Each structure stands twice: as C-alpha cells, then as structure tokens.
C-alpha cells in the first residue's frame, strides 16, 4: 500500500472516531467555532505559512470529555535552540 493511500485511510479512521464522539454529544470546534462535519477535513491541512491544526481534548470536572477543539498553531524554530 502506498504512503498517500495509507495516509488517507488513517485520516478517514480519525474522522470516523470524531464522528463517534460527536454522535455521543461531544461538540467539535475548529478555530473556536462549532464546525459542521463536512468541514472536519480542515484539521489535516498544512498551510503555506506553516500553520497546522492541533487537537485539544477538553475534559469536564467529572473526568469526562466535554469538547474537542482544533486550533491553528505555527511551528517556529528558534535558531538558538537549534544550536
């Protein structure tokens, strides 16, 4: 199986997992807004400016999952840290 096909299968499996959470009443947010299921694919995008989405699984006080959030983050390499 090719790398691209395997990547697509992994992404589909991840989206199916999000759907199971969503179906149990766990809201999915992208960039701070409730996101419809047909836009969940955005979480896999890597932008030209290096931005990508990072997931945060937010729990409630009772130890249960309350929401899933995806926010755009950027990776900046500090030249000092690299040396």
Tell me the mean pLDDT in the region 47-74: 90
> If DSSP codes are grouped into helix, strand and coil, which group holds residue 44?
helix
Q: What is the pLDDT of residues 19-32, one digit of tens each?
A: 999 999 999 999 99
Q: Residue 17's pLDDT is what?
A: 95
CA dist., res. 59 & res. 37, Å (int): 21
Element (H, E) at 13: helix 3-23
Q: Residue 14's pLDDT is what?
A: 96
Structure pTM? 0.78
What domain count does the chain have?
1
Domain that holds residue 50: 3-82
CA dist., res. 46 & res. 74, Å (int): 10
3-state helix, strand, coil in the chain (%, to 5): 40, 30, 30
């Amino acid at each position: 199986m090719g790398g691209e096909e395997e990547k697509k299968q992994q992404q589909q499996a991840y989206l199916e997992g999000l759907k199971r959470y969503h179906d149990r009443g766990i809201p999915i947010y992208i960039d701070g807004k409730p996101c419809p299921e047909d836009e969940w694919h955005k979480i896999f995008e890597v932008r030209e400016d290096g931005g990508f989405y990072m997931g945060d699984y937010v729990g409630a006080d009772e130890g249960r999952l309350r929401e899933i959030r995806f926010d755009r983050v950027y990776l900046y390499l500090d030249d000092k840290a690299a040396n």
